[in-house]
Copies of this chain bind each other. A is one copy, B any other.
């Protein structure tokens, strides 16, 4: 289910890309600078919108990279505009497009490490379930919530995207 989850993250990032358009449209109706969204935050000691977008992007990118052992491109976290955030999101979607199900063979038993874990490690299975998936949705939903809190016209359908509904 690792590959299927990466596909779902890709879908959610494509939705996030549309929220950026909605933010820009809202700013235009209210005649303020759309890039003002980049620095908005829900609490003074929380990450701003740009960092939430970067966090969602990085969590998806590093999840795919760490579970497969493939290198991920480093990115500078220097985005200051909605256009640059669009580019960041698109670059990660493109990176994730390069994976297929077979890349994730053996992912569960890979040994995952991070500098902040001070020498300790997690199995791929634990890292995926306890760290990557919750963190991805944490940053994605905070990005959504910051826009929603500030009046952008998005709703649950824009969060979920199209569902694979079919006739019974």
Query: A residues within 8 Å of B by Cβ?
Result: 1, 4-5, 8, 11-12, 42-43, 46, 111, 113, 117, 119-123, 125-126, 129-131, 133-135, 137-138, 140-142, 144-145, 148-149, 151, 156, 159-161, 163-168
Residue of B nearest to A131 (CB): B163
Contact yes or no, A166 B122, CB < 8 A: yes
Q: Which applies to chain A's interface (DSSP): helix, strand, loop or mixed?
A: helix
Closest B residue by C-beta to A165: B120
Cross-chain pairs A/B with CB under 8 angstroms, 22 sampled: A1-B1, A8-B130, A11-B130, A42-B149, A43-B151, A46-B148, A111-B168, A120-B168, A121-B166, A122-B164, A130-B160, A130-B161, A130-B163, A131-B160, A131-B163, A133-B137, A134-B137, A137-B138, A137-B140, A141-B141, A141-B142, A141-B145
A153 to B, closest residue via Cβ: B45
Name the contact of A12 in the complex, choosing from B8, B11, B134, B159 (C-beta under 8 A). Answer: B134
